[in-house]
Amino acid sequence: MKYNKPLVLILALLLIFSVNALAKTKKFTRVGVYPLMHKGKIESVGDLQKLVEEHAEDIKIGFEKAGASFLYPAFMEEVRKGNIEDKIFPKGEKFEWMVFKVGKRVKAVDDLVWSANRRLEAYALTVQYECKDYFMAIPKLCGNITLHHTRNSVPVCDLTVSPDKPNIGDPVKIDMSGSKCATKMKVTVNYEGQYVESKDLSPANPVWETKFNKTGNYEITGEAFNADGVVSKNECKAKVSINYPPECDLKVEPTKGYTNQKIKLDASGSTDKDGKVVKAEFTIKDENGNEVDKQEVTTEPLVWEKVFKKSGRFKVYLKVTDDFGAVSAKVCELEVLVEKRFYLLAEAGPMLARGTYTGCVFGRLGFAYLLVPDRLSFLASAGGAMKLHGDRIKNHFLSNILLNLHFDGFFLGGGVGFSSAVRDDWNSDVDIVGNIGFDIWRGFNKRLSLFGEIRYPIKQDLKWDDAHAFLVGIRFLL
């Protein structure tokens, strides 16, 4: 079979031109010829909303014809919200598709261009669906629905930071997972207005956990970017205030005390720059570093009245906590000396026994107990006196039970004593005893005193001039 080559060539060219003609952008110069909802001008947004509701079924079919059925619910919602504005399109403006109606049949056509020598008045609205913005126009003279163009939605940045007032070194979680329509995100950290660092995040990894090592105010700024690199427009900031740790202040009153006496451990002077001190933790250790006791105080005024049962040198340690859980960086410490109240006693010295004022020496052993430390003490001692010469005075036993009042190292007091026979006419008897003296040296749980003592028997019929004794001695408490 023979082919006419010129004829085949002509047919091929006609076919190519026909396909190109079908693919070309379609021009339109008039509206209102095939109206979807209304013939004539739609006067207001309110009228448009009513027409959309009345023709909802045709509109749904139109979206299906245009291959955009997914947009229908969002379109209807946007119209009901009234987010509609006036728009004027110049000649040459292109549209992706238009829905119109021929008779009772809803149709859609793609790829249009407005070619009239006048502007096209329309209502415009933006429908968002799955991070795409669909810019739609409805010519006022016909109510046909057109898609003008589509673009990636401007991303919405969302930033949360927790906690908003952490302590130094605590983990801080920066979360941008709530950002929308973003393909990447960026976090920038500034401290007191100065740049510190930044971090790139993504929808797959939207969380950054970091730590801040300075007290003060940090500003966290977030940005979200869509696939076109367009940055979010909404404000996306958070502030983080790194909690200032509290500062401890420890007072001990008195710093030198006694067993079974209350000693006040006071943390009420502790401060917190940006909050409140809510807890004081006291720890007591002995001179070997062994923990003796501890106490947590959470009620104001943050004072612990401690009673020490044992004597010794102790150290009191204090750390405080504020209302955000920060602990004082420095631990306050003070030494406390706790002296005993029971002492062994030894005393000795010269003695003059009246009659001839015979010289003797005496020595006694006993104990002392501080009933009211530094105010009132009880002493009991017993021993003997030995004459130095003469025959009238005998070596004899003597003992005391005394109460002494103390005034800043000076003391005086009295009590009763017992003496065995001092001479032939001065028999064993109970004595009235008085003493006075002062501390000449005092160490920890030790003291040395100089004292004078006078004694007189109370039951014998002896004159004062014939039956009294003077003693001067050194008393050592250990």
Tell me, what DSSP letter sits at residue 153? P
Q: Are 377 and 370 in contact (CB under 8 A)?
A: yes
pLDDT digits (tens, 9 = 90+) for 79-128: 999 999 999 999 999 999 999 999 999 999 999 999 999 999 999 999 99
Task: Please tell me whether residues 267 and 375 are part of one structural domain.
Answer: no
Write the CA distances from 434 to 201, 251, 464, 472, integer angstroms: 91, 41, 15, 12
**Would you say residue 2 lies in a domain?**
no
Going by pLDDT thresholds of 50, 70 and 90, the confidence category of residue 31 is: confident
Question: Tell me: the pLDDT tens digits for 440-457?
Answer: 999 999 999 999 999 999
Q: Is residue 461 domain-shared with residue 357, that is, in the same domain? A: yes
Residues 72 and 167 in one domain: no
- Domain limit, last residue, from 189, 210, 242: 242
Q: Is the pLDDT of residue 5 over 60?
A: no
Going by C-alpha positions, the residue among 342, 338, 372 that lies closest to residue 265 is: 338
Residues 431 and 388 grouped into a single domain? yes
Query: Of the candidates 215, 242, 269, which is a domain's last residue?
Result: 242
Say if residue 290's pLDDT is above 80. yes
Asked if residue 58 is part of any domain, the answer here is: yes
Q: What is the mean pLDDT of residues 407-411?
A: 95
Token pair recorded at residue 108: 């859609």
Q: Is the pLDDT of residue 466 over 90?
A: no
> What total number of domains does the chain contain?
4
* 15 domain-assigned: no
- Alpha-carbon torsion 58, 60, 62, 64, what sign? negative
* Residue that finishes a domain, picked among 210, 242, 274: 242
Q: In terms of Cα–Cα distance, which of 399, 388, 393 is closest to 360?
A: 388
Give CA–CA dist 377/375, Å, rounded.
7
Indicate the pLDDT class of residue 362, thresholds 50, 70 and 90: very high
364 and 412 co-located in one domain: yes
Q: What is the pLDDT of residue 18?
A: 36
Place of tokens 């007072």: 251
In a domain, 4, yes or no: no
What pLDDT shows up at residue 446?
A: 96
Q: Give pLDDT, residue 265.
A: 97
Is 232 a domain residue?
A: yes
pTM for the model: 0.65
For residues 52 and 118, membership in a common domain is answered with yes
- 423 and 313 assigned to the same domain: no
Q: Domain of residue 271: give its range.
A: 251-339
pLDDT tens-digit series, residues 210-262:
999 888 899 999 999 999 999 999 999 999 999 999 999 999 999 999 999 99
pLDDT for the residue 355: 59
pLDDT tens across 126-167, in order?
A: 999 999 999 999 999 989 999 999 999 999 999 999 998 999
124 and 166 assigned to the same domain: no
Share of the chain above pLDDT 90, in %: 80
| pLDDT for res 363 | 97
Distance of alpha carbon 186 from alpha carbon 184, whole angstroms: 7
Question: Does one domain contain both 310 and 366?
Answer: no
Mean pLDDT of 56-80: 96
pLDDT at site 24? 72
Read off the amino acid at residue 259.
T
State the chain's mean pLDDT as an integer. Answer: 91
- Long-range CB contact pairs, 376-379, < 8 A, 24+: 376/403, 376/404, 376/405, 376/406, 377/403, 377/404, 377/406, 377/411, 377/413, 378/402, 378/403, 379/345, 379/403, 379/404, 379/415
pLDDT above 80 for 349: yes
Give the closest residue to 378 by CA, choosing from 404, 341, 345, 416: 404
Q: What is the per-residue pLDDT for 23?
A: 47
With 0-12 / 13-18 / 19 or more C-beta atoms within 10 angstroms meaning exposed / middle / buried, residue 170 is: middle
Query: Which of helix, strand or coil describes residue 52?
Result: helix
Give 6-25 pLDDT, tens digit per residue. Answer: 443 434 333 333 333 344 78
Asked if 293 and 169 sit in the same domain, the reply is no
CATH number reported for the structural domain that contains residue 207 in this entry: 2.60.40.10
Q: Are both 354 and 368 inside the same structural domain?
A: yes
11 part of a folded domain? no
For residue 453, being part of any structural domain is answered with: yes
- 416: domain CATH number is 2.40.160.20
Q: Is residue 259 part of a domain?
A: yes
| Residue 392 pLDDT level (bands cut at 50, 70, 90) | confident
* pLDDT given at position 356: 64
Same-domain status, 145 and 35: yes
